[in-house]
């Protein structure tokens, strides 16, 4: 009998367990009902929110009217859209190009950069009553885009270029200047790195008013044209066109700095373009011999033709003797002679015995540092055309 009672109790327990599970498992109908309820509540809240906002706004405005009689809907308490500034910094002139690292940045006239303020609404210069603190920075050359001359302060900030990791500050010198009476000079700035490492491969110099310097007044930033910055190392080895007489001789084509030709010339005390040209006039075979067989005829023509394009100076060198006075240009060419009281110049010199004139030329060359030097052309005879052969 006890066994039968145990079996009945077990069946009863199993029944109630199954019933509990059935009731815990939601039916399709009950699930749909729950979804409908949730959607109704969400839609009701969505519809109710604008009404609640309107009621709250009206109550706040009513409260403000009671406490501030002058308050109205057009009050300055309302938030207004910020209007774009009509004031902008500008650089007076374009830059001198090209620009090299470690070289002072100047305007196209070789003067320090000048900043001023322009009123864009009237397109005329303007000023402010107080002094302005300006910051000079470097920008990416691609900013702003070609089809836009408008930008925000945040966009400007994002396009400022900083130095590469482990490098010196990209911009050195007067990176902070003061503007007074609407004008400011940037007298000493230079770039310390080239521009090849950024995508655009170009920089711009820009200026902005230091934040907080003009409360209530917004002045837009200034920026130069985009430009490439090259390493000064390239400038150190650059040939000059045209060369100056005082230039080192390796500035001539086909003569490399510290190269074989340069060393041979230096060993014979030929260090400048002027010394090179003087010897080419007085004794060209000797100069060719110094340069050696490595200087082919074709290379020689390139070098000497480049040298003969030198920038003419007004100096005249005078060799005085007992019965003669010889006038020479800076490369030892005779331009006039007074021999035994007779004035000879131009075509007259060509009729004089060449060996006789050559004697004076060689004497002048040997005593070059002792010659009398005067400035200015002769009164009646111009200097010979630069780069021509001697006329004697």
Q: Judging by beta carbons within 10 Å of its beta carbon (0-12, 13-18, 19+), is residue 248 exposed, middle or buried?
A: middle
| Counts of helices then strands in the chain (DSSP H, E) | 10, 18
CA distances from 158 to 118, 120, 152, 155 (A): 24, 24, 10, 5
pLDDT at 34 over 80: no
Kindly state the average pLDDT of the residues 68-96.
64
Q: Are 184 and 90 in contact (CB under 8 A)?
A: no
The string of pLDDT tens digits covering residues 174-221 is 999 999 999 999 999 999 999 999 999 999 999 999 987 667 778 999
Q: What is the pLDDT of residue 78?
A: 40
Give me the helix-helix angle, 284-291 and 260-267, nearest 10°: 130
The string of pLDDT tens digits covering residues 325-372 is 999 999 999 999 998 888 888 777 877 888 889 999 999 999 999 999
Lowest mean pLDDT among 171-180, 221-230, 281-290, 376-385: 376-385
Pairing of strands 229-230, 99-100: parallel
Q: Are 205 and 105 in contact (CB under 8 A)?
A: yes
Mean pLDDT across the chain:
82
Kindly state the average pLDDT of the residues 219-225.
94
Tell me the two tokens of residue 381: 């005879």
Q: Are 173 and 189 in contact (CB under 8 A)?
A: yes
Q: What is the pLDDT of residue 105?
A: 95
User: Which of 141, 158, 149, 142 minimizes the C-alpha distance to 84?
Assistant: 149
Q: Are 317 and 328 in contact (CB under 8 A)?
A: yes
Q: H-helix or E-strand containing 2?
A: helix 2-24
**Cα separation, 390 vs 384, whole angstroms:** 9
**Cα separation, 181 vs 378, whole angstroms:** 51
The string of pLDDT tens digits covering residues 231-247 is 876 666 788 889 999 99
Kindly state the average pLDDT of the residues 90-106.
93
Q: How many CB atoms lie within 10 A of CB 143?
A: 19
Q: What is the pLDDT of residue 292?
A: 96
**Cα separation, 249 vs 304, whole angstroms:** 11
pLDDT at 302 over 70: yes
**Confidence category of residue 298, pLDDT binned at 50, 70, 90:** very high
Q: Are 128 and 214 in contact (CB under 8 A)?
A: yes
pLDDT at 378 over 70: no
pLDDT at 31 over 60: no
Looking at residue 193, the DSSP 8-state letter turns out to be S
In the chain, the percentage of residues whose pLDDT exceeds 90 is 54
Tell me the two tokens of residue 186: 């940037």
pLDDT at 383 over 50: no
Say what the pTM is: 0.46
**Cα separation, 4 vs 2, whole angstroms:** 5
Contacts of residue 46, defined as CB under 8 A and 6 or more positions apart, other chains included, come to none
Q: What is the pLDDT of residue 164?
A: 94
Tell me the two tokens of residue 280: 């080419």
**Which range is most confident: 91-100, 176-185, 274-283?**
274-283
């Amino acid at each position: 009998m006890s066994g039968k009672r145990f079996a009945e109790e077990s069946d009863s327990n199993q029944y109630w367990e199954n019933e509990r599970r059935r009731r815990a498992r939601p039916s399709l109908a009950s699930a749909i009902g729950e979804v409908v309820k949730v959607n109704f509540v969400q839609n009701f809240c969505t519809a109710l929110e604008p009404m609640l906002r309107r009621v709250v706004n009206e109550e706040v405005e009513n409260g403000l009217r009671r406490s501030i009689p002058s308050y109205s809907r057009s009050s300055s308490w309302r938030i207004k859209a910020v209007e774009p500034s009509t004031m902008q910094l500008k650089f007076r002139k374009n830059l001198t190009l090209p620009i090299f690292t470690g070289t002072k940045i100047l305007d196209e006239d070789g003067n320090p950069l000048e900043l001023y303020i322009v009123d864009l609404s009237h397109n005329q210069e303007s000023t402010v009553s107080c002094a302005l603190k300006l910051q000079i920075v470097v920008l990416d050359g691609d900013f702003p885009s070609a089809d836009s001359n408008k930008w925000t302060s945040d966009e400007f900030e994002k396009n400022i270029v900083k130095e590469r990791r482990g490098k010196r500050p990209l911009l050195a010198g007067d990176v902070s200047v003061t503007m007074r009476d609407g004008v400011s000079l940037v007298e000493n700035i230079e770039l310390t790195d080239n521009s090849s490492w950024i995508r655009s491969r170009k920089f711009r110099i820009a200026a902005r008013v230091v934040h907080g310097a003009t409360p209530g007044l917004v002045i837009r930033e200034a920026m130069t044209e985009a430009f490439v910055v090259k390493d000064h190392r390239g400038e150190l080895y650059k040939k000059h066109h045209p060369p100056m007489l005082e230039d080192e001789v390796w500035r001539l084509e086909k003569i490399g700095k510290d190269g074989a030709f340069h060393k041979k010339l230096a060993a014979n005390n030929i260090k400048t373009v002027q010394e090179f040209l003087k010897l080419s006039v007085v004794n060209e075979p000797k100069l060719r011999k110094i340069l050696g067989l490595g200087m082919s005829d074709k290379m020689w023509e390139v070098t000497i033709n480049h040298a003969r394009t030198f920038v003419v100076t007004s100096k005249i060198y005078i060799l005085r003797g007992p019965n003669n006075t010889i006038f020479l240009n800076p490369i030892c060419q005779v331009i006039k002679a007074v021999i035994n009281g007779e004035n000879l110049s131009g075509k007259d010199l060509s009729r004089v015995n060449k060996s006789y004139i050559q004697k004076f030329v060689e004497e002048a060359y040997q005593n070059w540092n002792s010659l009398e030097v005067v400035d200015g052309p002769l009164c009646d005879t111009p200097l010979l055309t630069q780069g021509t052969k001697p006329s004697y």
